[in-house]
Structure 1
Amino acid sequence: MKNIPVVVLESKAGLAEGPVWDSHRQQLWWVDIGGGSINRYDLRTSRNDTFPLHTRIGALTLTQGSDLLLATHHGFTRFDPQTGILAKPISPADHDTAQLRFNDGKCDPAGRFLAGSTSLAGKNATGSLYSFEDGGKIQTLLRGIALSNGLTWSVNGRLFYYIDTLTHSIAAFPYDVETGRLGEGRTVISIPPRMGYPDGMTIDNDGMLWIALWGGGAVTRWDPRTGSLLEKHPLPVSQVTSCSFGGPKLDTLYITTARADLSSDQLEKESLAGSIFSLRSDVGGAAPHRFQG
C-alpha cells in the first residue's frame, strides 16, 4: 500500500515553516512566520505548545543546550523555552529590515547556522544567504537572492543544495565543511512552473531530495544526480512549505503547510491548511545538525 500523508496536528497557522526534529526529547519544533511564534509538538503526548514572540521568525535550530538559536526579523538571537526569554540579537541582521526578512535556515555538519533573507515585496532579488558561526561571526555566502528557501547537505556533507524559489530550480554547490565556503553552483533539478514553487527541502539516507511545493499541493522526492522526479505525494492543501525527517526511527517525514495567499473560497475548501502532516518513508533521514557554540 502506498504511503499517504496524514494529519499530525490540526492548526490554522498562517505560514507554518521550518520543521526541526529533536531526537533527544521526541519533539518537533516549527515556526509560524505569519503568527510570529515558534511551536513545539510532543510526539508522546500529542501536545503542541506555542511560544508567541511577536516578531517574524524565519527559522530555528537546536543547540547543544536546552535553548534554541533563531533567525528573527532583526537578527540571530537565542530563545530559552524554559524561561520564555528571547535574548537581544547576538548579531543584528546584515540587511535593511524594512525591506527584507529572514526565511529558511539550517545548521551545516560543522554546526554553523545558515539562513537566507527575502524581500518583503516578494519579487526583488535583494536577498542574501548568510552563515552564522560561534562568536557571532557572519559570512555572506550568496547575494542577489529573490526568495531564499530550502537548504540541505549531501550525506557526506560535500555538497550544499539550495533553493531560490523564484528560479524554480535547485542548485548544488561544492561545500567546504571546514571553512563553510561554497564552490561554484550548478542547477541539478528544474521544477516546471505547473507543479508549483519549490519551497523547503530535506535529504534522505539515499541522497534523494524531498521538496515541498508551494502552490503545488504536494511533497516530492527527486534524484539530484539525474534531476528526475521519483515520487509525488499530494496533500489536501495547496501551500506546502517544508519537510523534515523525524520520529523514533527518523523514518517519518513531517510536513508544514500554510494558509497564506489563499482566498476565502480556497480556505473553505482547504480546511486543513496551516496544519502539520506526516508521511512514513521507506528510506529515512538523519537527525538535524545542532548549532555548535
Structure 2
Amino acid sequence: MADRRDLDFTYSLIDRIFRLSLGEMADFSGAKYDGDFSLTLEEAQRRKHEYIREQIGIAPGRRVLDLGCGWGPLLNYVRGQGATGVGVTLSSAQAKACCRNGLDVHLRNALQVTTSDFGPFDAVASLGAFEHFCSPDEAAAGRQDEIYRNLFANIAGLLPPGGRLYLQTMVFGRNMIPREQITIDAPRESDAWYLALMGAQFPGSFLPYGSEQVVAAAEPHLRLVERTSGRLDYIETIKQWRKRFAEPSPRKTLVKLQLLPHYLTSKDFRLAFTSGVSANSVCFERELMDHFRLVFEKPA
C-alpha cells in the first residue's frame, strides 16, 4: 500500500492549501449531487454524509470507524449525530489537524486496525482511501486480490453480525488501457499521459479494476447491499474544488511561497502539482476511471 511518505507527499505537503481552500475539515472525497448540480459543494457533501448515516446507521451510542479519515469531515458529522467516531490516517498533517479539532484520530495503517487496539465498532466507513491500499508494485506482483481480501476480512472482524461498511472509491473504468502503456513520456493529453500524471500525484497507489474486483474480494466476509456510480458527481466535485483552489488569498500566497524550495528541488513535486490540468477529471470524463459508492453488510 501507499506508505506514510507517499501520503505525506500527496496530502501533507499542501495540507494548508487544502484547508484554506475547502475548510478546516476539508472534505476531499466525491460529493453526492445525484445529478442535481444546482447544489452547492457543501450541500452535496452534506447529502453524502446523510446517505452514509442512513446506510450504516450513524446514531447516538454507535461507534463508527473511518478508515483513511482525511481531515475528518465524516468524523465531525458523526460527532454531530451524537455517535462516537474513530479515525486513522497515514498523513501526519491530517492527523494533527484532526486532533486540533477534537477528533479521535490516530496515525495508523488502515490495514492494521484491530479490536485489541480500538475495540469493536458498529459500523465502518472509508471514503477515498481504498485507492491507496494497493501499490503499483503489489499489483504488478499479482497481490491485489490478496490485499483486498485481507482488508475485508479485517473489517468484518471489527463488525457485529449485521454491521455495515460504506466504501467510496475510484476504480479503473471501462476504457482503461493496458498498464504497460502508461508513461509520463507518452504524448501530452493522451490517455497514457493522464494516467501517468495521476500516478505522479498519488504515488504508491493503484486502483482496483472496476467495482467487480472490490465486490468479489469482499464476498467471503461481507455481502453487497447497494452499488451506485458517482462518476458524474465526482466530475462536478472536482470542478468545484478547482474553483476553490484558484480563489486567491494572502495566506495561500504565503503558503505557496513556502513551497518554493520543493518546486525548485523536486522534479516529482513539479510534475504532480504544477501540470496545470486536472488529470482525475479527464480520466473520469474519458471513462478511464469510474467511481463507486458501495454498501456492504456482515451476514448475521
TM-score relative to the length of structure 2:
0.30
| Larger strand proportion of the pair | 1
Which structure exhibits the higher relative contact order, with contacts defined as CA atoms closer than 8 Å and separated by 6 or more residues?
2
| Larger helix proportion of the pair | 2
TM-score relative to the length of structure 1:
0.31
Larger-gyration structure (1/2):
2
